Amino acid sequence: MHHGIRLFSTFAFLLFFTGALAAETVPTPPPKPASVSIVPAPPSVAAKAFLLTDFDSGAILASKNPDERVEPASLTKLMTSYIVAHELNAGKIHLDDLVTISEKAWKMPGSKMFIEVGKQVPVRDLIKGMIIQSGNDATVALAEYIAGSEEVFVQLMNQWAKKLGMTGTHFTNSTGLPDPNHYTTARDLAILARALIRDFPQHYAWYKEKVFTYNGIRQYNRNKLLWQDPSVDGIKTGHTESAGYCLVASAKRNDMRLISILLGADSARKRISESQKLLNYGFRFYETHRLYQAGQRLSDQKVWEGDTDLLAIGLTEDLYVTIPRGSYKHIKPMMEIEKVLKAPIHKDQQVGTLKVMLNEQVLAERPLIALNEVKEGSFFKKLSDQVKLMFADWLGE
């Protein structure tokens, strides 16, 4: 009897064991590879330097010699225009103000608005003359009106360049006329272009105007991309013999805005065709998403020794990422929070870091901040939490 049970048990064990072995040796299909978005290298661009960036995320999608010092020519007027817009917003000057044209402004060489010495011209017209006609005369007139002289205005230009983080830039005039100490970089121009669009969107609308007539003279915007590509709404051309042909362009398709910086092309036609290449490349192979809004509640975290037990955390600014088209589902946000959060915690205090990953690449890294204040709790609340923390520490939790 016992012998029969032993045989049955052994037989059952062998069946189980061999079955387990069989189950282990059954081949399983290989896992499906993750979908990979393939992005080709940027196109070959005939220019001394260039850079393509996304307006919202700041991601650089293509570049060549982005930090090389170059002559900006009339792209200089982007900084003059930025300061003019700032003065307008601050209420220090007004569009209807009349500016008396100095002899210096009237005599300026190069491209002109054709203003006359001694005449009074509204700020509004001078701005259009500077932006659309690239008038050196209008530019100097504005500089003198804002700062008293072009020399003092140049100080403002360099101070704003420093404030914006344009570390490779130095200005000696407001127009872009050649000077050995007047230089910038493609990266700095991208910083300036983003700031102009971001800080003064109403002022930026002037850059898409194609024609301006003043004093009976009709002149056309030199940015021919405005006619060629309906998504383009700016920004500015530049040209001197030494700088070559330059263009800072911006286009918006759907909810994505790109900015291209092209410096030192060998013809007006090339600066248009090469800029178009860059913009088409960026829009075709990349997409931009806003992942989180400023102040959005991303998580609630446990707080010890406070008058409340929970802390809402989020970001100080909207978070955008630019990624290869089709790879959005592979984005992984990771929060790194301080292990123990103790009151008091002030509003906007950093309590951790948010990293956004795509495969092994860090797309963005931002500080996580407290969205609300947590004050110290009562004596008994603090004592209770201290005991709980002590036991948690003992238990290794």
198/195 Cα distance (integer angstroms): 5
Residue-by-residue DSSP string for 188-213: HHHHHHHHHHHH-HHHHGGGG--EEE
With a cut of 60, say whether residue 24 has pLDDT above it: no
State the average pLDDT over residues 355-380. Answer: 94
158/140 Cα distance (integer angstroms): 16
Supply the pLDDT for residue 392: 73
77, 112, 224, 270: the catalytic one is: 77
57, 81, 111, 134: the catalytic one is: 134
| Predicted TM-score of the model (pTM) | 0.87
Encode pLDDT of 262-274 as tens digits.
999 999 999 999 9
Which tokens go with 128?
């259009």
pLDDT band at 393 (very low <50, low <70, confident <90, very high): confident
With a cut of 60, say whether residue 3 has pLDDT above it: no
State the average pLDDT over residues 370-384. Answer: 91
The answer to whether 137 touches 108, Cβ cutoff 8 Å, is: yes
The angle subtended at Cα 349 by Cα 348 and Cα 352, nearest 5°, is: 115
Encode pLDDT of 87-141 as tens digits.
999 999 999 999 999 999 999 999 999 999 999 999 999 999 999 999 999 999 9
pLDDT band at 396 (very low <50, low <70, confident <90, very high): low
Write the burial class of residue 132 (CB in 10 Å: 0-12 exposed, 13-18 middle, 19+ buried).
buried
- Whether residue 9 lies in the annotated active site: no
139/110 Cα distance (integer angstroms): 12
- Whether residue 134 lies in the annotated active site: yes
46/212 Cα distance (integer angstroms): 31
Complete domains list, the chain, with CATH: 49-287 (3.40.710.10), 293-394 (2.60.410.10)
Mean per-residue pLDDT over the chain, rounded: 91
State the average pLDDT over residues 29-34. Answer: 47
145/229 Cα distance (integer angstroms): 36
Q: Residue 57's closest CA among 204, 259, 331, 248?
A: 259
74, 102, 174, 260: the catalytic one is: 74
Look at the alpha carbons of 197, 201, 203, 208 in this order and tell me if their dihedral is positive or negative. Answer: positive
Angular region, 220: left φ>0, alpha ψ -120 to 50, beta rest: beta
Which tokens go with 286?
């990349």
- Whether residue 77 lies in the annotated active site: yes
Percent of the chain topping pLDDT 70:
90
The answer to whether 171 touches 192, Cβ cutoff 8 Å, is: no
Encode pLDDT of 201-236 as tens digits.
999 999 999 999 999 999 999 999 999 999 999 999
pLDDT band at 20 (very low <50, low <70, confident <90, very high): very low
Supply the pLDDT for residue 355: 97
